[in-house]
A and B are shown apart, each in its own frame.
Chain A
Amino acid sequence: MRVRWNPIVKKDLQIAARSMRISWGLFAYEAVLTMTFLLALAVIQQQTGSFYSDGNVYHHLIYLFPVLAIAQVCIVTLIVPVITASSISGEKERQTFDIMLTTCMSPFSIVLGKVVSAVIHILFYVVGGLPIMALSFVVGGMDWSNLFYFILTIVLLSVFSGSIGIFCSSVCRKSISAVVLSYVFYFVIFVLTFIPAIIKGLFVNKGAGETMLLWLVNPIIFFEEFFMQIMSGESLFAGNFEKGDVGFLTFQLARGKTWMFVSGACILLLSVLFLLAAAWKVNPMHTSSVRRPGKKK
């Protein structure tokens, strides 16, 4: 059976591979990761030689992995909207999007192609950063399977960030507006989802209740759980909450690895919803996506 590439993925990768942008991007990514590694190593060495330390550097080197991984997560989170937010609005600006819509590709295939090319783009960076990550495994004593799980979570994060970027790109006409809107969505999902639990915890004073379920779609909590599971094999929630502190459902989900998997599924589901919304938005057969054409150039 012959595997057919999505033509948009093929085209986007072909164009990206020929531009200097990807080379400079890769260089910057590696540079930031190397700086992070060296900085973390310096801090660990300093702590090992302190008065309160047991003097065993290997007790601290294990923290190289989460530091480097969190650095990669932060970079990916920041650059994916820049890549994807200009994907559809960029096609609109170039006036190539109309031609795409007259072909046999469905709006969902177009949107999916854009996200897949963004994920592959990110994987270039992640794979390029593997030698630096490998150092944390050599001196940190981590299992190779952790690296595999880490790449999986990076793919999940790329899909999630990419779907937000694509949705914003389908809503906005200009790429810059799409990038700004993407970061607004980030703020809502990454920061504002904490607000109900904080308000309830501080002012209502009966625990956070089920408001913490909103955190299921928050990638910060997802990665916190992921790193907790890898480093200590425990959930942060399970160790810190009593039955009365949180709602019944939250308490049940906080046991073992349940939260991490359910959160991953929720993030993936939200990504699919964003993609469907983007596909609906770019489909010219939907009335709401129609606006009166402006004057010709």
Chain B
Amino acid sequence: MLYINDLTKKYGAFTAVNHLSLHIPEGDLFGFVGPNGAGKTTTIRIVCGLLRASSGQVRIGGTSAPVGSREMKRLIGYVPDFFGVYDNLKVREYMDMYGSMYGMHSRDIAKLTDDLLELVNLSDKKEVYVDTLSRGMKQRLCVARALLHNPKLLILDEPSSGLDPRARVEMKELLMNLHSMGKTIVISSHILSELSEMCTSIGIMNSGQLITAGRIEDIMQQLSGGKRIHIRLVSGMETAVRILKEQAGTVVESVRENEMIITNQGTDEQISALIGCLIQNQVVLTGFYREEGSLESLFMQLTGGGGQ
């Protein structure tokens, strides 16, 4: 859906985005992660046609139209991090104005407005002035506005910043709902726990460079060199260590009194067979679990602890 090739943005001697290449497939919910000044917003602004790149290419949905062209703008729905409001403008009129800006007819806008306001749970606010809405409601309205022209790609720049916990949950549910409908979504956010819960893949940026991108589990696995498994046992420690060391692709990391940690690069079936092998050899297990890495630890590891 979104192809970014060798994208660079320079402000004089300062390089905000440095040779960034990225591919986000259709239907993906992609999380853009990085500390302040990493270049996330600059990248998003370039993709949305709000900034001119120093070099590189951006393509959306296979179209070869240049960034900032009308054709490209029709493919993107953009939700900025700050929601600016007009005094004395109602929710319905707000939607009508932006629909008109995409060349849509008032009749179509009115019908779509009803559907979208229902989607973002603002049906009862249609005749309410926008500046009287809560911040969470404004942000959801902004998402509805961005969906008005049915874009293929929805880009949200820190949609949860400044929202209270309830509004965040509502926003997260809305985005997951949109993802289940097949929309391709790109989110830049600082709230990593939230991203790890909803994103299918992530890209981590630091100092203008994309450090890594891909599915969260794959990145975790790459970094830890395999799946870390904790095994708790009552007896048979020596036997267990011997058996595990004989297995190809398995590394015994640490051994304590009743627990050992191993790293295994095999599939889930191979790990299952390995546990079965231990039980068959009279090793008495009380439990085992796979260590789940958090996005926070991954982020800190990749950005050298300099992130948020």
Given A11-B97, A14-B89, A285 and B49 contact (CB-CB distance below 8 Å): yes
* Contacting residues, chain B, for A15 (C-beta < 8 A): 86-89
Contacting chain A: which of B75-83, B174-182, B300-308? B75-83
Contacting chain A: which of B18-26, B99-107, B213-221, B288-296? B99-107
Judged by a CB distance under 8 angstroms, whether A99 is at the interface is: yes
* Contacting residues, chain B, for A102 (C-beta < 8 A): 48-50, 73, 76, 78
Decide if B84 touches A104 in the complex (CB within 8 Å).
Answer: no
Judged by a CB distance under 8 angstroms, whether B51 is at the interface is: yes
* Contacting residues, chain A, for B73 (C-beta < 8 A): 102-104
Binary A-proximity of B56-91 (CB < 8 A = 1, otherwise 0): 000000000001101001101010111111111100
| A65 vs chain B, min Cβ distance (A) | 37
* Contacting residues, chain B, for A291 (C-beta < 8 A): 11
Task: State A19–B131 Cα separation when bound (angstroms).
Answer: 14
Decide if A94 touches B81 in the complex (CB within 8 Å).
Answer: no
Decide if A100 touches B101 in the complex (CB within 8 Å).
Answer: yes
* Contacting residues, chain A, for B42 (C-beta < 8 A): 293
* Contacting residues, chain B, for A284 (C-beta < 8 A): 49-52, 68
Dominant SS among interface residues on chain A: loop
Given A14-B93, A15-B88, A290-B51, A104 and B103 contact (CB-CB distance below 8 Å): yes
Chain A 82-107 interface residues, beta-carbon cutoff 8 Å to B = 91, 94-96, 98-106
* Contacting residues, chain A, for B158 (C-beta < 8 A): 296
Task: State A290–B54 Cα separation when bound (angstroms).
Answer: 11
* Contacting residues, chain A, for B88 (C-beta < 8 A): 14-15, 18-19
Task: State A128–B14 Cα separation when bound (angstroms).
Answer: 55
* Contacting residues, chain A, for B86 (C-beta < 8 A): 11, 15, 94, 96
Judged by a CB distance under 8 angstroms, whether A287 is at the interface is: yes
Contact with B80, one of A19, A98, A106, A295 (Cβ below 8 angstroms): A98
Given A14-B93, A284-B68, A290 and B52 contact (CB-CB distance below 8 Å): yes
Number of interface residues of A (CB under 8 A): 33
Q: Which residue of chain B has the shortest Cβ distance to A5 in the bound complex?
A: B100
Contact with A286, one of B41, B48, B52, B83 (Cβ below 8 angstroms): B52
* Contacting residues, chain B, for A10 (C-beta < 8 A): 97, 100
* Contacting residues, chain A, for B80 (C-beta < 8 A): 95, 98-99
Decide if B101 touches A7 in the complex (CB within 8 Å).
Answer: yes
Task: State A286–B73 Cα separation when bound (angstroms).
Answer: 17
Q: Which residue of chain A has the shortest Cβ distance to B83 in the bound complex?
A: A95
Decide if B78 touches A95 in the complex (CB within 8 Å).
Answer: no
Dominant SS among interface residues on chain B: loop
Task: State A101–B84 Cα separation when bound (angstroms).
Answer: 14
Number of interface residues of B (CB under 8 A): 39
Decide if B52 touches A285 in the complex (CB within 8 Å).
Answer: yes
Task: State A94–B68 Cα separation when bound (angstroms).
Answer: 22
Task: State A287–B80 Cα separation when bound (angstroms).
Answer: 22
Task: State A287–B42 Cα separation when bound (angstroms).
Answer: 14
Q: Which residue of chain B has the shortest Cβ distance to A101 in the bound complex?
A: B50
Task: State A103–B42 Cα separation when bound (angstroms).
Answer: 18
Decide if B81 touches A296 in the complex (CB within 8 Å).
Answer: yes
Task: State A104–B102 Cα separation when bound (angstroms).
Answer: 5
Chain B 1-33 interface residues, beta-carbon cutoff 8 Å to A = 11, 14, 16
| B129 vs chain A, min Cβ distance (A) | 9
Task: State A297–B158 Cα separation when bound (angstroms).
Answer: 12
Decide if B52 touches A287 in the complex (CB within 8 Å).
Answer: yes
* Contacting residues, chain B, for A104 (C-beta < 8 A): 70, 73-74, 101-103, 149
Q: Which residue of chain A has the shortest Cβ distance to B68 in the bound complex?
A: A285
Judged by a CB distance under 8 angstroms, whether B36 is at the interface is: yes
Chain A 10-27 interface residues, beta-carbon cutoff 8 Å to B = 10-11, 14-15, 18-19
Decide if A293 touches B41 in the complex (CB within 8 Å).
Answer: yes
* Contacting residues, chain A, for B145 (C-beta < 8 A): 99
Q: Which residue of chain A has the shortest Cβ distance to B86 in the bound complex?
A: A15
Q: Which residue of chain A has the shortest Cβ distance to B12 in the bound complex?
A: A292
Q: Which residue of chain A has the shortest Cβ distance to B69 in the bound complex?
A: A285
**A interface, CB within 8 angstroms of B:** 4-5, 7, 10-11, 14-15, 18-19, 91, 94-96, 98-106, 284-287, 290-293, 295-297
Offer 27 A-B interface pairs, CB within 8 angstroms, sorted by A: A7-B97, A7-B98, A7-B101, A10-B97, A11-B86, A18-B88, A19-B87, A96-B84, A96-B86, A98-B45, A98-B78, A98-B80, A99-B78, A102-B50, A103-B73, A104-B73, A104-B74, A284-B49, A284-B68, A286-B52, A291-B11, A292-B11, A292-B14, A293-B45, A296-B36, A296-B158, A297-B82
Shortest 10 CB-CB contacts between residues of A and residues of B:
A7-B100, A103-B101, A94-B84, A18-B88, A95-B84, A96-B84, A292-B11, A102-B78, A285-B68, A11-B97
**B interface, CB within 8 angstroms of A:** 11, 14, 16, 36, 41-42, 45, 48-52, 67-68, 70, 73-74, 76, 78, 80-89, 93, 97-98, 100-103, 145, 149, 158
Task: Given contact pairs A102-B49, A102-B73, A106-B70, enumerate 8 new A-B contacts (beta carbons under 8 Å).
Answer: A15-B87, A102-B76, A104-B73, A104-B74, A104-B149, A286-B52, A292-B14, A296-B41
